[in-house]
């Protein structure tokens, strides 16, 4: 086989570039739009492009751009949907997750799944009432769109499924509805994050991952807060977890200043 030196050099450069962007990381890494809640998706795409992030979890209400502040949601008009499709295609963005959804009426849930299929959304993240879950199971089975339950902390007024046990009992009757937990809220609730993951083994589509300040006041840059990130990543590796780890941070004026070191923490992680 005749392989030129120039070809070998090009291949090594390509491999180095891919690894530097996180494609050789031990987990699939994505980012949530929440940190850019004060900004726009356009700014988020610009900020995260150098880090090689293409899988995004987009929250309802994320603005497209300063020039066109239309908000991403399942209530978008046909005209505005086309704007977002062009934007995602231009930036190579995959909408791998969307939420958090609390819908309970069937017509609204059906519309949500139609929207998810239209944008090829990987997983819907929901905190819908337990009695509505059969509808999510129904449309997930019909469309192939995944559905995962989200958790807020035990002291949050928004909490529906704060404990892993709450999530497990809720999804027990279903085949397609699983979980999409946030380890940060387990830390805020003073739960053992590793034990929580063990309880949900085989039942998680993706995971929101965040570090938390010791006084619970805010998120923290990875490795500086109370989350047991090393234990969490070791446990996910043991489980052979194949979902996406979505880096989460509270809304900030200069979001990339906080998100970049968190993303690099995961990209540089090496299991022992």
Tens of pLDDT, residue by residue over 119-141, are 999 999 999 999 999 999 999 99
Cα(39)–Cα(122) distance, integer angstroms = 24
| Tokens 């590793």, located at residue | 194
**Which has the minimum average pLDDT: 22-31, 199-208, 231-240?**
22-31
pLDDT band of residue 17 (cuts 50, 70, 90) is very low
For residue 47, pLDDT over 90 is answered with yes
- Distance CA(244)–CA(221), nearest Å, equals 19
pLDDT at 175: 97
Gap between the Cα atoms of 251 and 246, Å rounded: 15
Class of domain 25-267: alpha beta
Average pLDDT, the chain: 92
Give residue limits of the domains in the chain: 25-267
Q: Residue 43 has what pLDDT?
A: 97
Tell me if 196 sits within 8 A of 228, measured CB to CB.
Answer: no
- Would you state the structure tokens that stand for residue 39, as one six-digit string? 């900004």
Residue 23 has pLDDT above 80, yes or no: no
25 pLDDT tier (thresholds 50, 70, 90): confident
How far is the C-alpha of 272 from the C-alpha of 265, rounded, in Å?
15
Question: At residue 99, does pLDDT exceed 90?
Answer: yes
Residue 271's pLDDT is 80
pTM for the full predicted model: 0.90
Taking the alpha carbons of 39, 92, 99, 156 in that order, is the dihedral positive or negative? Answer: negative
Q: How do residues 172-208 score in pLDDT, each as one tens digit?
A: 999 999 999 999 999 999 999 999 999 999 999 999 9
Q: Give the closest residue to 243 by CA, choosing from 207, 211, 271.
A: 207
pLDDT band at 4 (very low <50, low <70, confident <90, very high): low
In percent, how much of the chain has pLDDT > 70?
Answer: 91
C-alpha distances out from residue 209 to 35, 59, 102, 182, 214, Å: 13, 15, 21, 6, 16
Answer yes or no: is pLDDT of 10 > 90: no
Listed range (4-8, 77-81, 119-123) with the worst mean pLDDT: 4-8
Tokens of 62: 């994320």
Mean pLDDT over residues 88-111, rounded? 97
The region, left, alpha or beta by phi > 0 then psi within -120 to 50, assigned to residue 178 is beta
> Would you say residue 2 has pLDDT above 90?
no
Residue 255: is its pLDDT beyond 60? Answer: yes
């Amino acid at each position: 086989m005749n392989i030129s030196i120039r070809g070998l050099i090009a291949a090594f450069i390509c491999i180095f570039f891919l690894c530097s962007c996180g494609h050789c990381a031990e987990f699939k890494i994505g980012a949530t739009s929440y940190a850019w809640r004060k900004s726009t998706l356009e700014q988020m795409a610009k900020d995260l492009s150098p880090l090689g992030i293409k899988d995004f979890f987009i929250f309802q209400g994320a603005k497209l751009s300063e020039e066109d502040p239309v908000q991403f949601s399942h209530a978008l008009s046909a005209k505005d949907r086309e704007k977002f499709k062009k934007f995602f295609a231009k930036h190579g963005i995959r909408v791998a997750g969307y939420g958090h959804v609390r819908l309970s009426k069937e017509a609204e849930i059906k519309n949500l799944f139609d929207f998810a299929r239209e944008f090829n959304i990987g997983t819907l993240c929901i905190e819908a009432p337990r009695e509505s879950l059969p509808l999510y199971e129904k449309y997930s089975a019909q469309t192939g769109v995944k559905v995962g339950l989200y958790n807020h902390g035990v002291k949050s007024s928004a909490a529906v499924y704060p404990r892993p046990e709450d999530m497990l009992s809720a999804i027990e009757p279903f085949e397609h509805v699983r979980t999409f937990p946030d380890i940060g809220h387990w830390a805020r609730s003073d739960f053992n994050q590793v034990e929580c993951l063990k309880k949900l083994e085989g039942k998680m589509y993706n995971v929101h991952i965040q570090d938390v300040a010791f006084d619970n006041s805010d998120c923290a840059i990875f490795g500086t807060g109370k989350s047991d990130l090393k234990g969490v990543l070791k446990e996910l590796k043991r489980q052979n977890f194949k979902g996406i780890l979505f880096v989460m941070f509270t809304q900030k004026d200069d979001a990339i200043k906080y998100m970049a070191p968190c993303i690099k923490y995961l990209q540089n992680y090496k299991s022992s």
